[in-house]
């Protein structure tokens, strides 16, 4: 399952999710539970993984079944409640398998084939800057806490401290984001990024060979600089 | 501030700087979603920061399509980072509120300057998001009475958090404009 292409996993997941929406009778549901569990465990995932993926859905299922029993009584409401809850869980399991068995770079490669590269670049930037802004948040938060801002997680549970969150953390963060966007865009545009419709690559050409010097003497002339071959379309 | 010499990078509409800024708004949504996941598991709390950054994105780049782009990037990045178990549902869950903000922006381009308008848009967009999960429950065949009760509870929680998150946007936009960090508000749609 791990070696299966991202597209195939999406296709299988879509079919299973659609079947989960359509299942009505106990036999259909039982068959679908078996197929979905086979799909899940074929991906070499464990029971613990399954529990971690569906625990909140199970909680939601208990609430839904409870509501059914409350409205119709236990005798009439138990089966529809369980059926609906199981259907909701089955709807989400293929997505969990996809996320657990597909590497980010495979998803990215798959996305690159479906969506325009400019949008793909933005998604990549969004992901790439997560650790950067996480560090920024930590730094701004530490500095503001030293100045007396109430930004500790337990302090933020009190809505009276939310103005501190916006004024002392989010506002400086936005200023930082604006500056970063400015710097990154200037830097990219200076490299002529995005001037062509197709995706371009900055390929480094190998330097031409000048011949090996005799008796290990240094070459008389400095080695040729690597040439940058710009805008090569794949 | 927007440079008049900037070339269009995406959809003949957004410059690279604007597109990156919108991408960063998506990054912040992802960050806050992941952060809140670790601490809270209250229904609807995700909308607090989602609406805050959606409306902020509208304030940063007051053009039609800006918030939709943030929603699109957020949903794709969520899937990429393993936070989107619902598959296509994730896309719908982010795009629905984004479209509401777009409609509000089309009707009143300068609405991000008004606290009341922001709160109203935040509440409506957050409530509409519930429609995605309600539609799934309807397709599954959940009974209407139970489905509506659940949707009502989710809508109230989503609307509450979305509205609260939106309230902070006008003051931040005003302060950023005052310091010349973003444009002085739209005179009309560009």
Q: Could you say which of A21, A53, A80 has the minimum Cβ distance to residue B143? A: A80
| Cα A152 from Cα B97, distance rounded (Å) | 30
pLDDT of residue B41: 58
CA A77 from centre of chain:
38
DSSP state of A214: G
What residues in B contact A194, CB-CB < 8 Å? Answer: 7, 9, 16
Please tell me whether residue A45 adopts helix, strand or coil conformation: coil
CB contact under 8 A, B27 and A56: no
Residue A32: pLDDT over 80: yes
Q: Kind and range of the H or E element at A39? A: helix A26-42
CB pairs under 8 A between A and B: 155
> What's the pLDDT score for residue A15?
86
CB atoms within 10 A of CB B35: 14
pLDDT top residue among A120 and A201: A120
Q: What is the pLDDT of residues A166-188, one digit of tens each?
A: 888 889 999 999 999 999 988 88
Q: What are phi and psi of A65, to 5 degrees?
A: -65, -40
DSSP string computed for A58-125? HHHHHHHHHHHHHHH-HHHHHHHHHHHHHHHHHHHHHHHHHHHHS-HHHHHHHHHHHS-HHHHHHHHH
Q: What is the mean pLDDT of chain A?
A: 79
Residues of B in contact with A172 (CB under 8 A): none
Instruction: Output the 3-class SS for B34-60.
Output: HHHHHHCCCCCCHHHHHHHHHHHHHHH
Q: Which of A13-17, A196-200, B121-125 has the lowest mean pLDDT?
A: A196-200
Q: In terms of residues, how long is chain B?
A: 190
Q: Which residues of A touch B24 (CB under 8 A)?
A: 126, 129, 133, 177, 180-181
Segment A45-74 shows an average pLDDT of 85
d(CA B19, CA B9): 8
Q: Does A194 contact B79 at a Cβ distance shorter than 8 Å?
A: no
The minimal CB distance from A177 to the residues B18, B24, B142 is found for B24
pLDDT tens-digit map of A14-31: 888 888 888 878 888 899
Nearest by CB: A122 against B73, B168, B175: B73
CB contact under 8 A, B76 and A115: yes
What pLDDT digit, counting tens, does each position of B135-159 carry? Answer: 888 887 888 888 888 889 889 998 9
Mean pLDDT computed over B69-88:
80
**Nearest neighbour of A127 by CB, restricted to B80, B87, B142:** B80
pLDDT recorded at residue A212: 47
At B165, give phi and psi (nearest 5°). Answer: -65, -35
**Is residue B189 a contact partner of residue B109, using CB atoms and an 8 Å limit?**
yes
Please tell me which residue of chain A has the smallest CA distance to B15: A185
- Which residues sit opposite A205 in a β-bridge? A227
Residue A206 pLDDT exceeds 80:
no
Which residue, A174, A112, A188, A201, is CA-closest to B9? A188
Q: How many angstroms separate the CA atoms of B84 and B78, rounded?
A: 5
Of A43-57, A60-74, B52-66, which one has max mean pLDDT? B52-66
Flag if B182 and A88 touch (Cβ within 8 Å): no
What's the length of chain A?
Answer: 234
pLDDT, tens digit, 9 for 90 and up, residues A80-104: 888 888 888 888 888 888 878 887 6
Query: Sign (positive/negative) of CA torsion B68, B73, B78, B79?
Result: positive
Assign A214 a pLDDT band (cuts: 50, 70, 90). very low
Q: What is the mean pLDDT of residues B87-104?
A: 87
Interface test with A, best of B1, B16, B22, B86 (most A CBs within 10 A): B16
- Average confidence score pLDDT of chain B: 84
Statement: residue B188 has pLDDT above 50 = no
Q: Residue B53 pLDDT > 50, yes or no?
A: yes
User: Given CA atoms A42, A44, A48, A53 in this order, what sign does their dihedral have?
Assistant: negative
- Pick from B10, B184, B185, B22: nearest CA to B109: B185
**CA dist., res. A122 & res. A105, Å (int):** 15
Beta partners for A204? A228
Per-domain residue ranges for chain A? Answer: 6-108, 129-190
CB A120 within 8 A of CB A105: no
Half-sphere exposure of residue A207: CA atoms within 13 angstroms, side-chain side:
8
Give the architecture-level CATH label for domain B13-178: Orthogonal Bundle (1.10)
Inform me whether the pLDDT recorded for B52 exceeds 80: yes
Q: What is the pLDDT of residue A195?
A: 74
The conformation of residue B10, written as its DSSP 8-state character, comes to: E
Chain A closest CA to B79's CA: distance in Å?
7
Q: What is the mean pLDDT of residues B90-97?
A: 87
- Band the pLDDT of B40: cuts 50, 70, 90: low
Yes or no, beta carbons of B136 and A21 under 8 Å apart = yes
Q: Check: CB of residue B123 under 8 Å from CB of residue B165.
A: no
**Does the pLDDT at position B14 exceed 80?**
yes
* Amino acid B36: pLDDT: 63
Question: In this predicted structure, what is the pLDDT of residue B190?
Answer: 43
Q: What's the rounded Cα separation, in Å, for the pair A193 and A199?
A: 9
B66 falls in which pLDDT band (50, 70, 90)?
very high
Query: Encoding tokens for residue B23?
Result: 């991408």
Q: b/e map of A131-159 (b: 16 or more CB within 10 Å)?
A: eebeebbeebbeebbeeebbbeeeeeeee
**Cβ <8 Å between B80 and A91:** no
Lowest mean pLDDT, pick from A216-220, B102-106, B156-160? A216-220
pLDDT band at residue A224 using 50, 70 and 90 as cut-offs: very low
Task: Report the residue from B24, B69, B84 with minimal CB separation from A180.
Answer: B24
Residue A151: what pLDDT? 83
User: Token pair 């501030």 is at which residue?
Assistant: B1
Q: Checking phi first, is residue B168 left (phi over 0); if not, alpha (psi -120 to 50) or beta? A: alpha
Give the pLDDT of residue B1: 55
| % of chain B with per-residue pLDDT over 90 | 34
Of the two residues A212 and B170, the one the predictor is more confident about is B170
Distances (CA, A) of B95 to A91, B47, B73: 20, 13, 10
Question: Does the structure show a pLDDT above 50 at A220?
Answer: no
Find, in chain A, the residue whose alpha carbon is nearest to that of B78. Answer: A127
- Chain B residue numbers touching A55 (CB-CB < 8 A): none
Q: Is pLDDT above 90 for A192?
A: no
């Amino acid at each position: 399952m791990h070696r299966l292409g991202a597209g195939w996993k999406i296709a299988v997941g879509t079919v299973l999710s659609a079947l989960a929406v359509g299942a009505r009778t106990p036999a259909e549901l039982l068959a679908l539970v078996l197929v979905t569990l086979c799909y899940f465990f074929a991906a070499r995932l464990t029971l613990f993984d399954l529990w971690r993926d569906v625990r909140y859905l199970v909680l939601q299922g208990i609430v839904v079944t409870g509501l059914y029993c409350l409205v119709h009584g236990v005798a009439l409401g138990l089966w529809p409640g369980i059926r609906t809850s199981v259907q909701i869980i089955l709807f989400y399991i293929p997505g969990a398998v996809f996320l657990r068995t597909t590497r980010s770079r495979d998803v990215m490669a798959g996305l690159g084939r479906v969506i325009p590269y400019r949008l793909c670049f933005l998604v990549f930037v969004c992901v790439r800057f997560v650790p950067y802004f996480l560090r920024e948040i930590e730094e701004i938060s530490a500095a503001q806490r030293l100045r007396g801002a109430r930004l500790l997680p337990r302090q933020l549970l009190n809505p009276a401290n939310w103005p501190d969150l916006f004024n002392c953390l989010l506002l400086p963060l936005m200023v930082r984001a604006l500056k970063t966007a400015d710097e990154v865009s200037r830097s990219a545009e200076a490299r002529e990024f995005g001037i062509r419709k197709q995706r371009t690559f900055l390929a480094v050409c190998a330097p031409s060979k000048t011949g090996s010097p005799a008796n290990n003497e240094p070459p008389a002339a400095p080695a040729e600089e690597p040439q940058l071959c710009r805008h090569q379309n794949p | 501030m927007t440079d008049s010499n900037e070339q269009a990078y995406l959809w003949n509409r957004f410059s690279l700087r604007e597109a990156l800024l919108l991408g960063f708004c998506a990054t912040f949504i992802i960050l806050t979603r992941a952060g809140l996941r670790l601490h809270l598991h209250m229904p609807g709390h995700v909308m607090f920061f989602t609406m805050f950054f959606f409306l902020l994105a509208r304030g940063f780049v007051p053009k039609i399509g800006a918030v939709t782009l943030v929603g699109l990037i957020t949903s794709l990045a969520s899937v990429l980072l393993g936070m989107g178990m619902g598959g296509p549902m994730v896309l719908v869950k982010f795009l629905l509120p984004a479209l509401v903000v777009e409609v509000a922006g089309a009707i009143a381009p300068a609405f991000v300057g008004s606290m009341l308008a922001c709160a109203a848009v935040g509440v409506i967009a957050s409530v509409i998001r519930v429609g995605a999960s309600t539609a799934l429950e309807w397709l599954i065949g959940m009974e209407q009475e139970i489905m509506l009760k659940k949707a009502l509870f989710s809508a109230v929680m989503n609307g509450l958090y979305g509205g609260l998150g939106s309230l902070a946007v006008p003051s931040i936009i005003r302060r950023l404009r005052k310091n010349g960090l973003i444009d002085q508000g739209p005179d009309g749609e560009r």
